[in-house]
Structure 1
Amino acid sequence: MLARFSIRTKITTLVAALLLAISGLGALGLLKMQSMNTSTVEITTNWLPTVTVLGELRAEVVDYRLKLRDHLLATEDATMQALEKELAAASERIKIGQKGYEALISSPEEKQIYDSWRSAWDKYTAEVPKVLDISRKSNGAISVEGVKLLSVPMGPFAAQMDEAMRKDIDLNNKGAAAASAAAAATYSSAFFVVLSILGLSIAFGIVASVMVIRDVASGIAAIIKPMQTLGQGDLSADVPYRGVSTEIGAMADALQVFKEALIAKKAADAAAGRDAEEKIERGRRVDAITRNFESMIGGIVQTVSSASTELEASAGTLTATSARAQELTTAVAAASEEASTNVQSV
């Protein structure tokens, strides 16, 4: 299935898939980190500071109420004046705390609780000048009217402030707990998802790598086998993957060209061999003809030599015969001359 794809395409696809998985893993991690950071920032910039400010504000209100009570119990003017200064300073700190808290209000419910507390505080502080006036006029004696005023109507106002403050602190504690739980849930889900994606990426990388390596190795082995066969002289070996537009296909095409060149060379060698055999055969025929010619010439020379010998012998015989004839002629001539002489004598 993967054989029709080039090695470059396979490796590029594998690397791209792994990079995509890593990018997705990084993006998911960033999103989860952002979510956790949002929860953490919400805790550190809203819920915890709000609880801290509410605790400080509550402590200042309690301190303010204690100083107001101490003012009723004070017997000296100097102590009363010092307490009044402390009350004024506490009132300023409470105002600063109110402004700081108002900037941290994050929900309509919290705003409603704060409005209830501020209403009770405003009503409570509206009665403070009356208590201070009664305390100054008591001349060091405990004023029943002042104590009564602290109880009614300031007591219910104080109780309303305490209740509102408790609700507000509980609300912010719950918000902090919810944000903390959300951060923990985000971490758990992020850990599970990241671990899952990481595991899947590793598994995919291993499987894909094995498949690509096996495919490339099998393709190379399929090319090596006909190479070895051709190297052993068997030119009938089939070359696979020819015409495939991959690196293996290019190697197969090159091997096919090499095979065809070997076939052409073998044919040329065979033709050259046949030509050489024909030349050798012609040489053999020429050699045979030459030997036959030499043999024939030798026979002729032998015959001529024999004839010459016989002719020489015949010539010798003729020479002897001629000499004998000459001798006979000489004898005849002598006899004739003798006969002639004899005739003449007669």
Structure 2
Amino acid sequence: MGNLKIATRLYAGFGLLVAIMVLVVSAALVQMATMRASAADVDNNWLPSVEEVNLLNTAISDYRATEMQHILNTDDVAKTTIEKDLESIQARIKTSRSKYEKLISTKEEQGLYDEFAAAREAYLKIHKEVMEFSRRNDAEGARQLLEGESKKNFERSSDILDKLVLMNHDGSVAAAKTSAEAYVAGRNMMAVAMVVAVLLALIAATYITRSITKPLSEALDVAANVATGNLTVQVHSSSRDEIGQLLQAMKAMQDSLVAVVSKVRSGSESVANASAEIAQGNNDLSARTEQQASALEETAASMEELNSAVKQNADNASQANQLAMNASTVAVQGGEVVGQVVQTMKGINDSSRKIADIISVIDGIAFQTNILALNAAVEAARAGEQGRGFAVVASEVRSLAGRSAEAAKEIKTLIGDSVSRVEQGTALVDRAGSTMTEVVTSIRRVTDIMAEISAASHEQSAGVNQVGEAITQMDQVTQQNAALVEEMAAAASSLKSQAGELVQTVAVFKLSAEQGSGRPAPPMAAPAKTAVRSSKPSLAFKGPERRADAAPVAKAPAAKPLASRPAAAKPAAPVLTAVAPKTSTRVTPAGGDDDWETF
């Protein structure tokens, strides 16, 4: 039975009780059905039969009494009313007979009822003759019939009805007796069945309880030992029921706990040692991060000064660009004025040439006038005294023509000198115009160069601003990293203490000899020492140094607004030595003039 499952045992025990209950209830139901049938027979048959027979007996008595009233009454109207009453009573008799015929249950009762029906039919035949005598008011003849055969049939019918009443009464008494006997039998049977059921229930409960509580006590002892950390207790189970399976599972759990505790014990010791090393390394990293943060602050201050200088250069370049643009405008205006002067000189040259031509014409006119004056003087000499006045005039005209010719020659000479000088001035003005054009072109090139210098200065200023912002962000990130490193150091210290607590907690469990000794865990080993920090911060970092006595500070490249974060090199276990990140820019010693190469 120990291999049966608890559910099977419980089902069997309760099934036995249910079977007994079913038998008891079935027997009780049979007895109750008998009682119900007897009661129903009394209610539905015997009592209604007695009631209907009594009603029928009363109705035939009323019918005979009404019949006698009809004989004694001589009023036709009253007789008619009495006949209606007789019809009503006959309807009652018919109804009662119809109901009673449905309630007849035995042949004896049916035989008596048939006798009643025959006597009633004979009575009704005589009733017709009685009614005929009564309607003729022959009371004597009607009374004789009524007292003769009619009375015999009436009394016979009444006696038969009394017998039927007695028969139905006896039937109801027998049904009640049957019901009482069924009650007594059912009561006795249920009492016996209850005693048997209680005994069987006690036996089944005792057996099932013992088969469950004993293995449960063993499982409870095992669980109590495991709860106190004693993993050396032996678990034995030979049954295959749920509790046997529970003990097997607890044995497997104990084995798993032994393996887990062994691993956790060794792992907790390793975690404790590693957490101590991590805490020490985080402390070193925190100090170096603080050094890096201070170096970044200095770099940020230098970048602010450099930013101010670059902004000033950009402003100066902007002013020079504006002055160059003004000079270019003035040069262009001077070039335009020189061009106008060149055009004016060309006009003067053309006018001088025209004046020379006019002077040549005047000289020709003076020559011709002189010839005309000579001709006039010749003609005046030929005329003699009459032409003397004309000769004087011709002489004056000739004198004026000569003077005009001389003046024209002088003017022509002066105009020639003026034209030659104007030509020289025009050539000089042409050269000055070409020179001014070259000056304007050069000034425009200078203006363009100054604009490029100004734009480059502004871009350089923006780049320096971006580099400054990047360094500021790097400073903020470094500060955050420093805070994070401090938190990590605190967390590592907390982890160290928790690992120690875990080691002490795991030491509570006791293991068997082949699984492991129950000795408490040894104290945590001292963590491996990290690289010794020198008094100089720079000695704690590997790689190139910017200054001989300062921590290395990597410059961010100027081409990018935000310098990418370099990946830190993995420290070698167990020594946690920080390694300086590699950057893309070249670090120059002493921070000299070569620092401007990165910009």
Specify if TM > 0.5.
yes
Mapped partners of 2:116, 2:95: distance in 1 = 15
- Which one-letter code corresponds to 1:58 in the other structure? N
Cα deviation code 1:204-250 (max 9, x no counterpart): 22332122212322333466678999999998x986652x3223433
Aligned to 1:5: 4
Aligned to 2:131: 132
Deviation at 1:160, TM superposition (A): 1.6
The 5-angstrom pairing of residues 66-215 of structure 1 reads: 66-138=65-137, 142-143=139-140, 145-215=141-211
Aligned to 2:401: none
Deviation at 1:81, TM superposition (A): 2.8
Unaligned runs of 5+ in 2: 259-510, 518-599
- Which one-letter code corresponds to 2:245 in the other structure? A
Mapped partners of 2:127, 2:254: distance in 1 = 113
Is the CA contact 1:18–1:201 (under 8 Å) kept in the aligned structure 2? yes
Aligned to 2:326: none
Secondary structure of the residue aligned to 2:126 is: helix
Unaligned runs of 5+ in 1: 271-346
Aligned to 1:266: 513
Is the CA contact 1:223–1:240 (under 8 Å) kept in the aligned structure 2? no
Mapped partners of 1:200, 1:127: distance in 2 = 72
Deviation at 1:85, TM superposition (A): 2.1
Q: Indicate how the Cα distance of structure 1 residues 99 and 234 shifts in structure 2: closer, same or farther if over 3 A, else same.
A: closer
1:219 counterpart = 2:215: yes
Flag the structure with higher helix content: 1
Is the CA contact 2:41–2:175 (under 8 Å) kept in the aligned structure 1? yes
Which has the greater radius of gyration? 2
- Which one-letter code corresponds to 1:266 in the other structure? A
Mapped partners of 2:105, 2:156: distance in 1 = 22
Mapped partners of 1:87, 1:225: distance in 2 = 99
Secondary structure of the residue aligned to 1:3 is: coil
Deviation at 1:256, TM superposition (A): 6.9
Mapped partners of 1:198, 1:146: distance in 2 = 74
Mapped partners of 2:254, 2:77: distance in 1 = 121
CA RMSD between the two structures:
3.5
- State which drifts further: 218-227 or 57-66: 218-227
Q: Indicate how the Cα distance of structure 1 residues 85 and 239 shifts in structure 2: closer, same or farther if over 3 A, else same.
A: same
Aligned to 2:33: 34
Q: Indicate how the Cα distance of structure 1 residues 251 and 88 shifts in structure 2: closer, same or farther if over 3 A, else same.
A: closer
Cα deviation code 1:86-106 (max 9, x no counterpart): 222212221222222212222
Cα deviation code 1:49-89 (max 9, x no counterpart): 22111111111100011112222333433333322222222
Deviation at 1:124, TM superposition (A): 0.6
Bigger relative contact order (CA 8 A; separation at least 6): 1
The 5-angstrom pairing of residues 231-310 of structure 1 reads: 241-242=237-238, 244-251=239-246, 253=248, 265-267=512-514
Mapped partners of 2:42, 2:249: distance in 1 = 70
Aligned to 2:292: none
Is the CA contact 1:3–1:219 (under 8 Å) kept in the aligned structure 2? no
Mapped partners of 1:225, 1:98: distance in 2 = 86
